[in-house]
Amino acid sequence: MADLQTRIIRVARQVFEAPDIEITGDTAIVDDLKIDSVDVNEFHYQLELEFDLRLPDSVPASFNKIKDIEKYIEKKLK
């Protein structure tokens, strides 16, 4: 199974149509990837599908970087 961060980055690349942009744990979701609220909502939804979990609607707003998402999902999957 791919590690958690790799899976999150794969989802981000698909949702944001950014196959060539470098995305790491320190990538700022809105500032570095230049996405809007519609993209954030789609990312949120795709993460739910990828990890088979429910993310509260307030959660995406608290994600600043990819590593923030990773920490949150890691806690939820335990």
Name the residue range of residue 56's domain: 4-77
For residue 33, is pLDDT > 90?
no
Instruction: Supply the pLDDT for residue 40.
Output: 86
Residue 55 belongs to domain with CATH number: 1.10.1200.10
For residue 65, is pLDDT > 90?
yes
Map 30-77 to HEC letters.
HHHHCCCHHHHHHHHHHHHHHHCCCCCCCHHHHCCEHHHHHHHHHHHH
Average pLDDT, the chain: 88
Domain count, the chain: 1
Give percent above pLDDT 70 in the chain.
94
Q: Which two tokens stand for residue 53?
A: 């979990």
* Full-model pTM: 0.87
